[in-house]
Amino acid sequence: MFPGLSQANPVACFNSNMGHFCMELFERRAPGTVANFLRYVDSGAYTQGIFHRSMPDFVVQGGGFKVAGSDTGAKVSAVNTFAPIKNEFGISNTRGTVAMAKVGGNPDSATGQWFVSLVNNSTNLDFQNGGFTVFAKILYEGMTVFDAIAALQRVNFGSALSTTPTINYDITQVPQVENFVVISHIDVHDVTGVFDGSTVSFAVDTGNGNYFDVRLQLVPTESGIVFELDPASVTPLSTLPGNRANFSAGNGTLMIPSVMINETTIVNNVMLALTDPAIFQFTLVSFE
């Protein structure tokens, strides 16, 4: 689904009233965009934020509005924005990717709003307004959350809230906070590797000043847990990654400090042994 995206990056995990989901942030592919996104996260802009736009078979969008309760029902307010950022388009807008929203006719106008592609939008979003900058992808079973949001009743509350997904909302009543799709909490994890599907991706230091982004593929075996290097995933890096695995050619060991394996679990000090050098197969030895 995401060819060429082998590297592991920070992972942001969201709690919402429609479920839990995580996204891997492409820090090395879109550094300015990821830094901007994390600035909004750190400022609290996305906490109590809502998904205000739902377009089935296209996108679900958030990052622009927050909701709070009051004696007269839910009050929706716009997120305070920072200065617009430079466009960093380079990754295709396929299903499950996360990209920045922006003003039409201005590629460098993205601020805080972002959207998740529900389908492959590459033929559309890759070729308009300078291309929409993909800066993350949804991990694990997170797309089931967005598919569920897309299936919700949409209500026109006016202006930018004209296609807002709602939960158990009676349009004859005043909306309450619980009628919106609300993000309650966000955690950002700086992990070395991400295991998703049947692959684990990470940056690795192989010694002698050589650093690479790589992906290992889980392979069927009757004994042990075995991974094999995907040669197409190997991408040289010009600078030393801050959070990286280390491979020792001397004893054939690969140590990955931390790996996220699902929405709630991180394992540490993952040790693998090179058991078939001809095809770069590694067998899992231990983890914490």
C-beta separation of 213 from 203 below 8 A = yes
Q: pLDDT tens digits, residue range 45-84?
A: 999 999 999 999 999 999 999 999 999 999 999 999 999 9
Domain coordinates of the chain in residue numbers?
11-189, 193-286
Q: Which residues pair with residue 260 across a beta bridge?
A: 194, 266
Q: pLDDT tens digits, residue range 148-206?
A: 999 999 999 999 999 999 999 999 999 999 999 999 999 999 999 999 989 999 999 99
Domain 11-189 belongs to what topology? Cyclophilin (2.40.100)
User: What predicted TM-score, i.e. pTM, was given to this entire model?
Assistant: 0.92
Q: CB neighbours of 143 closer than 8 A, spacing ≥ 6?
A: 95, 96, 116
* Identity of the residue numbered 25: L
Q: Which residues pair with residue 271 across a beta bridge?
A: 255, 286
Which two three-digit tokens encode residue 79?
């997120």
| Total Cβ atoms within 10 A of residue 205 | 17
The residue with tokens 């930018």 is 160
